[in-house]
């Protein structure tokens, strides 16, 4: 009987913990099955170009703690709507059959896909075409409703919290206002948790539309107490009451073309002249994705990888690994895709706790 051949790819934005999943998946599979593994480079693009590398004990040694992904990633390559040249023009076509044929040619039995909404939507679509697929959820935004926590989120929160501490000392020295923009798209999890942990005074998240007047009130309240500096943490997708989120740019060739951005600078400009302080803005950007993976995320990623290996061994294809409470579980990709994103509950325990310690949400 021939060995089971397992292919792995990482799609979408990178996240701390991707390497740890690859590390644990490779080891758990090799230690429990007669198999070999390969990794497609740059996500679905590698699957289309048949560009891959072997995944072995040796090739994955030393990657557990490292952020990013050894397989590289792309957030633009949807093979069901892929940009190709035809008759001298660039057009979008469904080239998924090319990927299926590549897997057949290489003898791939199982495809393990590590990614977020867009990447896993394609995983579901490949499953519908008869490919044996296992999904592993990934996003630093922690906004996938199908699982209680995604790997990468804890690392991002730690990074933002550390940077808020650094900003705290400099703005206190100058009695300044600092508006710090963090990632999260339309979910405020990173801003909420890092803001609380990093001693923010104002936290603005998409789930609670804000009033600039209320932000001014908070600054004036702090001034009256002799606290002449204020830290404002804002999610990139936050929006004012009766307003829209700030769009940084539009990426036409991406499955998710809208890129939020610029909200921190916008708020800083709106505060100018309304408070008696120097005001600065700072967008932490991709710093939140970089560096080593936190201890929590390393453990969580190992659990995801090991559970994915179990699903492969038991041939439970068409499913995605999930975390429910403290238990590793799984759910059908058909159920997962299209589910409403997981957002912060404006009336939830964590928001209430933040309010009780004096944090304003601008409402």
Catalytic residues: 141
Question: For the chain, what is the radius of gyration of the CA atoms?
Answer: 22
The overall longest dimension of the chain from CA atoms, in Å, is 77
234/277 Cα distance (integer angstroms): 19
Closest CA to 270 of 222, 212, 228, 230: 212
307/329 Cα distance (integer angstroms): 8
For the chain, first and last CA: distance in Å?
Answer: 65
Q: Which residues contact 194 (CB under 8 A, 6 or more apart)?
A: 156, 157, 160, 161, 164, 182, 200, 233
66/43 Cα distance (integer angstroms): 18
Cα distances from 301 to residues 19, 305, 320, 326, in angstroms, run: 8, 6, 14, 13
Closest CA to 218 of 267, 164, 167: 267
Closest CA to 317 of 9, 108, 110, 29: 110
Rounded to the nearest angstrom, the gap between the alpha carbon of residue 26 and the centroid of all alpha carbons in its chain is 22
Q: Which residues pair with 115 in a beta bridge?
A: 137
């Amino acid at each position: 009987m021939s060995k089971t051949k397992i292919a792995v790819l990482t799609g979408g934005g990178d996240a701390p913990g991707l390497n740890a999943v690859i590390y644990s998946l490779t080891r758990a599979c090799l230690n429990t099955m007669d198999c070999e593994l390969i990794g497609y480079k740059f996500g679905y693009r590698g699957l289309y170009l048949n560009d891959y590398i072997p995944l072995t004990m040796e090739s994955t040694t030393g990657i557990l703690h490292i952020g990013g992904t050894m397989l590289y990633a792309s957030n633009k390559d949807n093979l069901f709507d892929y940009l190709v040249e035809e008759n001298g023009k660039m057009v979008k076509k469904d080239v998924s059959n090319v990927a299926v044929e590549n897997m057949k040619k290489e003898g791939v039995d199982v495809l393990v896909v590590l990614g977020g909404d867009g990447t896993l939507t394609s995983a579901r679509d490949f499953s519908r075409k008869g490919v044996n697929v296992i999904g592993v959820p990934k996003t630093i935004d922690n906004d996938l409703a199908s699982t209680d926590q995604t790997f990468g989120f804890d690392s991002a929160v730690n990074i933002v919290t550390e940077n808020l501490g650094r900003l705290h000392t400099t703005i206190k020295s100058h009695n300044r206002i600092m508006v710090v923009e963090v990632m999260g798209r339309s979910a405020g999890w990173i801003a909420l948790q890092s803001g609380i942990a990093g001693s923010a005074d104002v936290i603005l998240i998409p789930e609670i539309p804000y009033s600039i007047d209320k932000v001014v009130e908070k600054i004036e309240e702090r001034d009256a107490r002799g606290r002449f500096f204020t830290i404002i943490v804002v999610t990139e997708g936050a929006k004012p009451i009766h307003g829209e989120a700030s769009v940084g740019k539009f990426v036409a060739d991406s499955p998710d073309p809208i890129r939020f951005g610029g909200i921190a600078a916008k708020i800083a400009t709106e505060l100018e002249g309304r408070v008696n302080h120097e005001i600065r803005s700072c967008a932490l950007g991709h710093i939140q994705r970089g560096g080593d993976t936190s201890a929590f995320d390393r453990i969580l990623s190992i659990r995801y990888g090991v559970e994915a290996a179990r699903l492969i061994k038991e041939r439970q294809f068409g499913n995605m690994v999930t975390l429910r409470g403290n238990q590793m579980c799984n759910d059908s990709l058909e159920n997962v895709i299209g589910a409403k994103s997981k957002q912060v509950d404006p009336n939830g325990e964590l928001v209430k706790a933040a309010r009780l310690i004096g944090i304003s949400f601008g409402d």
